[in-house]
Amino acid sequence: MSRRKRSELPEHRAIDAARGPGLERVLIVLNDLATGGAQRVAVSQAAWLAADGYDVHVASLERLPAGAMIPECRRLSVPTHLLRGRGEPELLAAARLEALVRGIRPDVVHTHMAVAGVVGRGCARRHGVPHLVTTLHNLTDWQERAWHPLRFLDRKSLRWCDGIAAASEAIRAAMERWDAGLAARTRVVYNGVEVDSFARDAGSRATARESLGVEAAACVIGTVARLERRKGIDLLIGAFAAAHAAAPALRLLVVGDGPEREALAACARERGVERAVRFVGEQRDVRPWLAAMDVFAAPSRTEGLGIALIEAMAAGLPVLASRVGGIPEVIGSCLCGELLPPEAGSAWRDAMLKLAADPGARAALGATASLRARAFSVEASRDALCALYREVLGRAAKAA
């Protein structure tokens, strides 16, 4: 089906005339508003576009209903449309999206994640939405899950997009290997972090550690992640157990939840370190937990970029991170930690022991990390996204 210009659809002419020139209406469509990196980025992008003068709406298919990001949308005063209630069939969300697009008549539909991509782009084309934009968050959609039917459809429908924002150069390169024709309309838009809000002081560290019952002499290795296999927390626990045997003052703090939580707790018990490992579950505000850490670990098996890693660096933490995906782009050439192979347990053990034994090195690496994090500021990300929008809309205006 070819895409019709919206101005060719009679039912759209009246609202377009009433709106007047200069205001583009954007509908951001995502899988759900659960707590996750992609969801946080989508909500942030909605706020940036609204601040840049666009009329922005968010539509959530609510595959995980009643998500934790809903209050953030409301705080930002972004109109938010929840398309599925708890217990309702998922197909109902697609029907409601059709009605929403007919009702608000967006100029741009901007999708995040695979289900929203397939459903949202198809809906937009059926209703003559002039512009399609998408943000790509994951490497797994181009690697391990590349031939999953949903990912295949998502990849094919990317050809309908006028602009593509890749969260890292690694994602952009993986996409280009599959379809070189998409490269010309793709720009890297790094995930942005409110860098200054993560700055910590000695007082916040002492308070956070006291609330955890962590003794002053302990060195706390920490991570923030969804607890699923690709995040590599099982690898981290194994390496930590080996390091703990040599340095009993080491502690491991795991912030986050997910399908592997029980299995990971069992892994800690089997390794004999259950008393040294603390699982604190999902936290809406991770800053107090970062304040309690001495070292941040990102042991992912695959990673598009790693927003939790950027936040930890902004908090002044030295990092131990896997040399995979977009993580080397975050670390850059700066000396703020160490890049390690994700499956190399002995290398992770040795790196933990080295940093645990050297507070001076941790302080120096952390100071460098906080400076490096500024490359991923909200301001830089917002400017890159708005530049992509101006490019897409400007290109369309020239073609008109």
Question: Which of these, 242, 223, 396, 229, lies nearest to 295 by C-alpha position?
Answer: 223
Q: Is residue 16 scored above 50 in pLDDT?
A: no
Under the banding of pLDDT at 50, 70 and 90, the label for residue 281 is: very high
C-alpha–C-alpha distance, residues 62 and 30, integer Å: 8
Instruction: Return the percentage of the chain with pLDDT > 90, whole number.
Output: 63
One-letter amino acid of 386? C
Same fold across 6-192+378-399 and 195-376? yes
pLDDT value at residue 228: 93
Query: Which is higher by pLDDT, 21 or 183?
Result: 183
CATH architecture of 195-376: 3-Layer(aba) Sandwich (3.40)
In CATH terms, the fold of domain 6-192+378-399 is: Rossmann fold (3.40.50)
Low-confidence winner among 58-67, 155-164, 298-307 (lowest mean pLDDT): 58-67
Under the banding of pLDDT at 50, 70 and 90, the label for residue 76 is: confident
Q: Is residue 121 scored above 90 in pLDDT?
A: yes
Place of tokens 């990849």: 155
214-246 burial, b at 16+ Cβ within 10 Å, e below that, comes to beeebbbbbbbbbbeebbbbbbbbbbbbbbbee
Residue ranges per domain, the chain? Answer: 6-192+378-399, 195-376
Per-residue pLDDT tens for 30-69? 999 887 778 888 988 898 899 888 999 999 999 876 677 7
Question: Which of these, 381, 361, 295, 366, lies nearest to 334 by C-alpha position?
Answer: 366
C-alpha–C-alpha distance, residues 381 and 385, integer Å: 6
Q: What is the mean pLDDT of residues 159-183?
A: 92
Question: What letter does residue 256 receive in the DSSP assignment?
Answer: B
CB 211 within 8 A of CB 287: no
C-alpha–C-alpha distance, residues 234 and 262, integer Å: 11
Low-confidence winner among 196-210, 303-317, 318-332, 345-359 (lowest mean pLDDT): 196-210
Under the banding of pLDDT at 50, 70 and 90, the label for residue 396 is: low
Mean model confidence pLDDT for the chain: 88
Per-residue pLDDT tens for 141-151? 887 787 889 98
Q: Is residue 231 scored above 90 in pLDDT?
A: yes
Per-residue pLDDT tens for 87-100? 899 899 999 999 99
